[in-house]
């Protein structure tokens, strides 16, 4: 498995990073799935953040900035 492209603009272009910290990002993987880099907020939201949303033991809930998702909109395929 490997990342093949970024969705949206770079974190530097969005102003979502520093030289020290990580950077929220959305990546497309070579198998057609996507990976999200963000701040782990699982402990803050809990394993069931909504009535019909659950986080399995091998999953984490991550936060990305609004700018990260909005900048990726143009790169998200329709199907």
Per-residue pLDDT reduced to its tens digit, 15-68: 887 666 678 999 999 999 999 999 999 999 999 999 999 999 999 999 998 999
pTM: 0.84
- Per domain, the residue ranges of the chain are 3-75
pLDDT, residue 32, reads 94
CA angle centred on 19, ends 26 and 38, rounded to 5°:
30
Check residue 11 and give its pLDDT. Answer: 86
For every residue of 31-71, DSSP letters joined together read TS-EEEE-EE-HHHH-S-SBTTB---TT---EE--HHHHHH
14 has pLDDT over 70: yes
pLDDT attached to residue 73: 94
Q: CA quadruple 47, 56, 75, 16: dihedral positive or negative?
A: positive
Q: pLDDT: is 47 or 14 the higher one?
A: 47
Cα–Cα distance for residue pair 30/23, rounded to 1 Å:
21
């Amino acid at each position: 498995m490997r990342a093949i492209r970024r969705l949206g603009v770079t974190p530097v272009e969005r102003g979502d990073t520093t030289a020290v910290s990580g950077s929220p990002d959305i990546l497309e993987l070579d198998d057609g799935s996507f990976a999200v880099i963000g701040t782990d907020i699982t402990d803050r939201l809990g394993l069931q953040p909504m009535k019909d949303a659950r986080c399995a033991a091998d999953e984490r809930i991550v936060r990305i900035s609004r700018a990260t998702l909005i900048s990726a909109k143009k790169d998200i395929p329709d199907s």
